[in-house]
Structure 1
Amino acid sequence: MLYRDRTQPVKKRTEHLLGLMTPEEKVGQLVQLFGWQTYDHTDGTIELTEDFKRQIREGGVGALYGTLRADPWTGVTLESGLDARAGAEAVNSIQRYALEHSRLGIPLLIGEECSHGHMAIGATVFPVPLLIGSTWNVDLYREMSRAVARETRAQGGAVTYSPVLDVVRDPRWGRTEECFGEDPYLIGEYAVASVEGLQGERLDCASSVGATLKHFVAYGSSEGGRNAGPAHIGKRELLEVDMYPFRKAVEAGAVSIMPAYNEIDGVPCTTNRELLEEILRGEWGFEGMVITDCGAIDMLASGHDTADSGEDAAVQALTAGIDMEMSGVMFGGYLLTALRSGRLDEKLVDQAAARVLELKFRLGLFEQPYADPDVAEQVIGSAEHAELARSVAAEGIVLLKNNGVLPLSKDKGTVAVIGPNADIGYNQLGDYTSPQPRDRVTTVLAGIRAKLAAQPERVAYAPGCRIKDSSTEGFELAREVAADADIIVLALGGSSARDFGEGSIDLRTGASKVTENALSDMDCGEGIDRMSLHLSGVQLELMKELKALGKPVVVVYINGRPIAEPWIDEQADAILEAWYPGQEGGHAIADILFGDVNPSGRLTLSLPEDVGQLPVYYLGKRSRGVRYLEGNSQPRYPFGFGLSYTEFSYSGLQVEPAVITADGTAEVTVEVENTGSRSGAEVVQLYISDLVSKVTRPAKELKGFRKIVLEPGEKQKVSFMLSAEHLSYIGPDYKLVVEPGSFRIGVGRNVNDTLNIDLTVTED
């Protein structure tokens, strides 16, 4: 069979295979099932379900979703789930049946969730993307993406539903934690690194997976920060801001893309032909697969109400450019009915099936459909990947305030570790996380205890309160513990932990307890949007109780969205923003608290003083205004902000030449010196301002950054190249243009703290 000849071009193999297929088999390639429902796992044995085997024999399945996913939604637990070896063996059993019992022996496409690590039991849980963004280190993220790809492919997963490239506009949105931040240029840099890391040098390599870009597009611009709400956004902003990271990732070679749930100007992204065909495939030249989010096609008929039935929704979606529906069990049936009635042109089915088959060929699934259980055991959850997770966490934690209390002494003093996020492992992992054994997650308390292991009597603990509960019964123990300590480390924030059955905490003793009425502390994550950015529950009251003792208080925020608590900003002696730092987060936090790591994280979200300031992202127009009656509109902590245990100075900003043509280039240089007493990393940020333009422009735009490490007294010249790519914008005719005129170039430590110099662009 020609389609089995790996020496033939992918297009030719695809055409040949497609020509052998029946309409039912073609439609079957567009159907994805829930993978964890295809088998039963009992007493260590895997048995494929009869329903799954029937569908395979009938040619009705092309892909599986979340075959190895474990969480409360799937119902897969630590006890019922599959470890590294068993997971690989289960996928092999599934693939073997598909190859041996389907007429043409077409392998299945196994897709997995990997936002911050493969969502399978035993896999490494890295920090969430919001922390990854705060590292400003795309090389480190590329390395992390390679690790995630190795773990996923080792168990047979061939495609991942990441990266998330949404631009955050309203951080009340529960999925803020899944995003890199609020700036399209920054997200675009991470988008490229993600594709390069996940897909590697070759897609058919045993350590590569296909990247699926999501959510296309404007998902982070929803009305009121409510998940999947309408996006009220103009075409120019859509092209320049929200679509920019996707375009960069497509240019980098991404092979799959996922439209968003939301609508834009009345048109759901799932059926937006302008987005999917005219721009994505036409202008950008994307040749990969387009897969919807889970249930997105049903949403057309029940939610958006732009289709009068499931069949109508399926036909609309396929016509607009959709190739597959994530876990769309009914999708195939709808399409077959429409085909048989003549409502659907079979050429559209051929087109979609060809894209799916091409991806399978490119991934090398026809040559090597099976995982290697030995490799899975070696790679998944390895010590090397755990150390990498710790490094990422340490680089992304942001020091927001420090009156000199940090770093803490390793030699003297007692530490009271208090707070609802001090010793609850799941609270620091974020959403899209699999069940974890207790000893796989290092909490803040565990990290501090490990740091002072030779003197355990120096560390005491009290939970104080829960995240959302109004009970103050833990305050008494917290006060007692804090009163006997020299310094208080208070771990506050949020939680995206779903109900993993971990039980509860006895606030009066700090001990774990079993209860039939366990309270959920989840106040962030998918579908958990908020009206406020204040701390939930009685956490602020706990802080006030402890501050009244007159002891230094170091606040460690562990959370998935910004927190607006002006009283804490004023009263805390030091504040660390740790986001959700992953399984090694406690170690990374302790490394920073005790000075073994100099903090180098910088904010990728502007942190407001009050929710009433929203939207507060820095990329605003000059005309947006500066004040409210109650105060100004500036964030408490600006974009790019972050402190260090050393000091950096900037000098000698130059641009050469100072006058260029529209197609010319200029080099911007600045000297950065470590003027402090210890080694540290600085994030040098470059912003531009188009001073006069035919269309209004943002006051400032990030167009470059470098993370450099300097020893005390060391000085380094940092350079950036500016070209049309950085100076252009979407003009009056919706085409990219570089207008002659003056540009202000700012280079510095954050968006509000830069040295400035002018650049002139002439017509010729």
Structure 2
Amino acid sequence: MSYKDPNKPAGERAEDLLGLMTLEEKVGQLIQPFGWQTYEHRDGKITLTEDFKTQVQQSGVGSLYGMLRADPWTGVSLESGLSPREGAEAVNTLQRYVLEHSRLGIPVLIGEECSHGHMAIGATVFPVPLSLGSSWNVELYREVCRAVALETRSQGGAVTYSPVLDVVRDPRWGRTEECFGEDAYLIGEMAVAAVEGLQGESLQSPGSVGATLKHFVGYGSSEGGRNAGPVHMGWRELLEVDLLPFKKAVEAGAVSIMPAYNEIDGVPCTTNSVLLEDILRKAWGFEGLVITDCGAIDMLAAGHDVAEDGMDAAVQALKAGIDMEMSGEIYGSYLLEAVRQGRLDMELLDRAALRVLTLKFRLGLFEQPFADPEAAERVIGSEQHRLLARQVAGESIILLKNEADVLPLSKASGTIAVIGPNADAGYNQLGDYTSPQPPDRVTTVLRGIRSKLAAEPQRVLYAPGCRIKGDSREGFEAAMACAEQADTIVMVVGGSSARDFGEGSIDLKTGASKVTENAWNDMDCGEGIDRMSLALSGVQLELIQQIHQLGKPVIVVYINGRPVSEPWIDEHADAILEAWYPGQEGGQAVADILFGDVNPSGKLTLSVPKDVGQLPVYYNGKRSRGKRYLEADSQPQYPFGYGLSYTSYAYSALKVEPEVIAADETATVTVDIQNTGEREGAEVVQLYISDVASKVTRPARELKAFRKIRLAPGEKRTVQFTVGPEQLQYIGPDLQPVVEPGSFKVLVGRHVNDTLSADLTVRG
């Protein structure tokens, strides 16, 4: 039995093992039941369920989804869930049973959600991907992914369902927070960092997990910004934009991919063989695993209605290239019978099972199927990872406005009123796909500000004022009284992607937590929570307007999962910070920015519209899309790449050498950046390309390179980029990449609408 020989290649071992398996065992490898339903946790003891034991003995279980996941959807709470050590021990109990009670002893592949930290109790909660992208710090994000992989693998998770590589086209979409932004190039750079960080140098390492790219593809371009809605997109845009980050991540070695729920031009991604076979496998050479999102195959018969029933849906999916089904309900119910009835060739079933087995061998599960409880207890939620979460949150926060340099605040004098529904609401700053948290685990903005003025607690006042949603104004009076006593007011508003974690409600008059029969759900963002508007929910704007009448400096801090469009705030607030959902250390990071301990360096990865009626407003739309509406121009309130600092930077001496190149040659671009202010800071130098004339219509400019640099006061540095075929090509009339002869503009600057320009010519 050569499959037991660790010195043989993974593919050869998988082939040998496949030859020993029964039809039932092969099907068992293609299903992924919900992991939290396989055990019971009582009085500190882990007991496997009888249903799971029976399934293992009859046909085996290929994979489990979210065995360590905890949240309201799973029903796993702080009380019933597993600590880091207990989670590792539970995995070991399960794996041991599988190895001892299944005929061939094939270990289970455990897949976990890790979008911005492992979704397990005790794990570090990093900022959401929209925030991580706003750091524009690829190296730091790679470090975050290494930390997430270490925490996940130490507990037994071997594959993660991240990164999310969707290109956001309509930020009304509730899953905007899970994405890096609106630009395919930037997403591609983060995608490569994610694969390298998660998978490490070896998949068999105790600090590595397999990356699953999702959602393949076009998921961020749904009709009306509605989750899983139809996508209306031509092949050129698909190839040039939405597929680009996936292609880069596949080239970086990603081992798994997840098709999107949506259809493109009438064909669901789950059965799109052109995407799954012709492009992914044949053109890109992908050899890994394709796994569905939860319920995607069922949607073929009940949603998309392209399948007659579950049997038809299962056959269509497997034929199209779906190897494993998350939840396993359709594959588990119909694949056996489909083969027996002759509706499905055994060859296709073998193909899928072989891919599952090969990945298990590549991950080293046959040699080391067990977790490390000691390591789990040591590394999960460690101090090192907490500090990393604070650092990346600080680099991701964006300063949108700073009238008369009202920021940074002084630590020496002045009373600060911290007001708003997100000032002291921990779950509201974590985002979706987050596990339950102990009360002291999350540092809110209020706690962060108090920590800066710990010696003088009387200088920090607090009132919630209102909730995220709803029309209750019962907290207005207390908020106004609080603001009247202060010199400066920090309004912490925005949105919430918090599920109902049973944390109770809040007394709007006192700010104290209170237990009620029905906890108030303020969720207005997250998966399945799409909006018609980008305005603040509830009466938040009204609260800010009333407090503004006091005539005191008002600083607005947005904590949210999608851009906010509030023209009144843009005009009247003295300063505005966009923090997105900044994670467990987000409140401390916001305080670091407010008091100047950290100089803001985050930049927008999404254009922020003046009004929702401007959508779509992404920066790299076609030149031909028009100039203005009757009411206003088509420019956003804050453009892509925008973000202020407490210092200033001057760009000069942009050069392109040589100025004329052949289509297969490269040019060197240099530019000088000087810190002309009095504070050290970090600047994101952005390079855009504009194709002056092309055979196919093109965007006016496209991001093709960026670099984040740190400069001391007065320091000047020359930044160098290389521009060649990769930066100049586009998908031509024949749907193939081409670099056309002609004129190009090379644009370098602080954001898309503030650049220096130089000429580059590609000779014919």
Q: Please, what TM-score do these two structures have when normalized by structure 1?
A: 1.00
Aligned mates of 1:723, 1:630 — CA distance in 2:
41
SS for the counterpart of 1:703 is strand
Aligned mates of 1:146, 1:246 — CA distance in 2:
20
Aligned mates of 1:311, 1:393 — CA distance in 2:
47
> Stretches of 4+ moved more than 4 A in 1?
none
Code of the residue aligned with 2:361 in structure 1: it is F
**Which residue does 2:583 correspond to in 1?**
582
**Which residue does 1:469 correspond to in 2?**
470
State the Cα deviation string for residues 176-210 of structure 1 (Å, max 9, x = none): 00000000000000000000000000001010000
Give the CA deviation at 1:12. 1.1
State the Cα deviation string for residues 220-271 of structure 1 (Å, max 9, x = none): 0000000000000110000000000000000000000000000000000000
Contact 1:144 1:388 (8 Å CA) reproduced? yes
Give the CA deviation at 1:329. 2.6
SS for the counterpart of 1:207 is coil
State, as a whole percentage, how many aligned pairs show the same letter.
Answer: 76
Give the CA deviation at 1:469. 1.5
**Which residue does 2:422 correspond to in 1?**
421
Map 1:581-600 → 2, pairs under 5 A: 581-600=582-601
**Which residue does 2:679 correspond to in 1?**
678
Contact 1:462 1:507 (8 Å CA) reproduced? yes
Map 1:52-71 → 2, pairs under 5 A: 52-71=52-71
**Which residue does 1:89 correspond to in 2?**
89
State the Cα deviation string for residues 440-468 of structure 1 (Å, max 9, x = none): 00000000001110110100100000000
2:227 equivalent to 1:227? yes
Aligned mates of 2:50, 2:662 — CA distance in 1:
68
**Which residue does 1:405 correspond to in 2?**
406
Code of the residue aligned with 2:144 in structure 1: it is M
Aligned mates of 1:736, 1:194 — CA distance in 2:
26
SS for the counterpart of 1:139 is helix
Aligned mates of 1:20, 1:674 — CA distance in 2:
67
State the Cα deviation string for residues 359-389 of structure 1 (Å, max 9, x = none): 0000000000001100000000000000000
Code of the residue aligned with 1:109 in structure 2: it is L
**Which residue does 2:736 correspond to in 1?**
735
Aligned residues: 763
Map 1:165-204 → 2, pairs under 5 A: 165-204=165-204
2:54 equivalent to 1:20? no
Contact 2:314 2:330 (8 Å CA) reproduced? no
SS for the counterpart of 1:440 is coil
Code of the residue aligned with 2:62 in structure 1: it is G
Code of the residue aligned with 2:271 in structure 1: it is T
Aligned mates of 2:9, 2:117 — CA distance in 1:
33
Code of the residue aligned with 1:714 in structure 2: it is E
Aligned mates of 2:519, 2:195 — CA distance in 1:
40
**Which residue does 1:759 correspond to in 2?**
760
Aligned mates of 1:712, 1:168 — CA distance in 2:
36
**Which residue does 1:711 correspond to in 2?**
712
Contact 1:31 1:60 (8 Å CA) reproduced? no
Give the CA deviation at 1:155. 0.3
Aligned mates of 1:166, 1:760 — CA distance in 2:
33
**Which residue does 1:110 correspond to in 2?**
110
**Which residue does 1:559 correspond to in 2?**
560
Code of the residue aligned with 1:2 in structure 2: it is S
Code of the residue aligned with 2:584 in structure 1: it is Q
Contact 1:402 1:574 (8 Å CA) reproduced? yes
Give the CA deviation at 1:721. 0.2
**Which residue does 1:98 correspond to in 2?**
98
Code of the residue aligned with 1:757 in structure 2: it is A
Aligned mates of 2:176, 2:491 — CA distance in 1:
23
Code of the residue aligned with 1:464 in structure 2: it is G
Give the CA deviation at 1:623. 0.5
2:218 equivalent to 1:218? yes
Give the CA deviation at 1:664. 0.3
Code of the residue aligned with 1:558 in structure 2: it is I
Code of the residue aligned with 2:160 in structure 1: it is T
**Which residue does 2:654 correspond to in 1?**
653
Give the CA deviation at 1:60. 3.6
Code of the residue aligned with 2:52 in structure 1: it is F
Structure 2: gaps (5+ residues): none
SS for the counterpart of 1:682 is strand
Aligned mates of 2:459, 2:130 — CA distance in 1:
33
Structure 1: gaps (5+ residues): none
**Which residue does 1:631 correspond to in 2?**
632
**Which residue does 1:455 correspond to in 2?**
456
Give the CA deviation at 1:478. 0.3
Aligned mates of 1:270, 1:119 — CA distance in 2:
25
Aligned mates of 1:297, 1:253 — CA distance in 2:
26
Map 1:716-727 → 2, pairs under 5 A: 716-727=717-728
2:400 equivalent to 1:370? no
SS for the counterpart of 1:473 is coil
Give the CA deviation at 1:11. 1.4
Give the CA deviation at 1:327. 1.3
Aligned mates of 2:188, 2:268 — CA distance in 1:
24
Map 1:659-670 → 2, pairs under 5 A: 659-670=660-671
2:73 equivalent to 1:73? yes
SS for the counterpart of 1:20 is coil
Aligned mates of 1:218, 1:58 — CA distance in 2:
39
Aligned mates of 2:758, 2:100 — CA distance in 1:
67
**Which residue does 1:325 correspond to in 2?**
325
Q: Which moved more, 1:58-67 or 1:259-268?
A: 58-67
Aligned mates of 1:435, 1:333 — CA distance in 2:
33
Code of the residue aligned with 2:364 in structure 1: it is G
Aligned mates of 1:60, 1:242 — CA distance in 2:
37
Aligned mates of 2:28, 2:333 — CA distance in 1:
9
Code of the residue aligned with 2:600 in structure 1: it is P
SS for the counterpart of 2:213 is strand
Give the CA deviation at 1:328. 1.8
Aligned mates of 2:307, 2:125 — CA distance in 1:
40
**Which residue does 1:539 correspond to in 2?**
540
Aligned mates of 1:201, 1:723 — CA distance in 2:
29
**Which residue does 2:503 correspond to in 1?**
502
Q: Please, what TM-score do these two structures have when normalized by structure 2?
A: 1.00
SS for the counterpart of 2:374 is helix
SS for the counterpart of 1:438 is coil
Contact 2:298 2:330 (8 Å CA) reproduced? no
Map 1:307-318 → 2, pairs under 5 A: 307-318=307-318
**Which residue does 1:285 correspond to in 2?**
285
**Which residue does 1:347 correspond to in 2?**
347
Give the CA deviation at 1:333. 2.4
Contact 2:666 2:723 (8 Å CA) reproduced? yes
SS for the counterpart of 1:576 is strand
**Which residue does 2:514 correspond to in 1?**
513
Tell me how large the CA RMSD over aligned residues is. Answer: 0.5
